[in-house]
A = this chain, B = another copy of it.
Amino acid sequence: MSKQNVILEARNIVKYYGEQKVLDIENFTLYKGAFNFLIGPNGSGKTTFLQILSLVDKDYRGELYYKGEAIDYQRDNLLKSRRKFSVIWQNPYLYKGSVSYNIGLPLRLRGVNKKSIHHKVKQMAEKLAITELLSKRHDQISGGEKQKVSIARALITEPEIIFVDEPTNSLDKESISFFNQHFSELVTDEMTVLLITHDLTQVKRLANHINSLDKGKLIYQGCPREYNSNNFHVI
């Protein structure tokens, strides 16, 4: 791949939890407008790495480059960068309030006016078929519904990069296929995706690039074709 297509790069990332070294990654590349997958067994450090890449966790050693430039940790610039990203978390957290409050929250934080928030929330809810949930309280919805709300919340800002940690947990068949389809659609645009999953079919169907973690080390980087033949046992 050419350098032009690289949107985010990580070099020499080392992360400790207490005494335990959980990440040690020399070089990692996120390709623009593509489906980048991060796979690996439980506890291999995927979520930890995602937190670093998405600029949520600053407590690590190493360097990050966004479009070739080192990430600036000065507060305002950091915020600007973060606002280009979105994260769908492994176990989504919903804030106390209605479903529509939760979905609209990132826009609210960006100072978007109420009317426009209302409009976009409605649109997004329709896409995900959760319109009837909008007025429900955050703790009055089912597991899959919660997942969908968190997906809607992450998509509503139309981020440049979206980091996704096992988004299809708890989702039903229809929702999964919607998710896969919707994401593919989005990625035909400029959007970049980093997806963590244990779902092999998803990898097979969607992946443009595969990164495989094991015990905190990147043991494979490359395209799916090569990967399929050799390494599938490690997922």
Contacts and interface: CB of A to CB of B under 8 A. Distances in A.
Interface of A: 17, 40-43, 46-47, 90-91, 140-145, 148, 165-166, 169-176, 198, 200, 233, 235
Contacts of A145: 42-43
Contacts of A144: 41-43, 198
A144 B48 CA distance: 13
Contacts of A174: 41
A165 B233 CA distance: 26
Contacts of A172: 40-42, 198, 235
Contacts of A43: 141-142, 144-145
B200 A173 contact: yes
A167 to B, nearest CB: 11
A98 B88 CA distance: 27
Contacts of A198: 144, 170-173, 176
Listed residue (A41, A145, A148) with the most chain B CB atoms within 10 angstroms of its CB: A41
A222 to B, nearest CB: 19
A170 B169 contact: yes
Contacts of A200: 173
Nearest to A198: B172
B173 A166 contact: no
Contact of A42 (B91, B171, B235): B171
Contacts of A46: 142
A233 B173 CA distance: 8
Nearest to A174: B41
Given A42-B170, A173-B233, 8 more contacts: A42-B148, A43-B141, A43-B144, A47-B142, A90-B143, A90-B170, A143-B166, A173-B198
Listed residue (A90, A145, A200) with the most chain B CB atoms within 10 angstroms of its CB: A90
Contacts of A233: 173
A200 B201 CA distance: 12
A43 to B, nearest CB: 5
A142 B42 contact: yes
Contacts of A166: 143, 169-170
A45 to B, nearest CB: 8
12 contacts: A17-B140, A41-B175, A43-B142, A43-B144, A46-B142, A90-B143, A90-B170, A91-B91, A143-B166, A170-B198, A173-B200, A173-B235
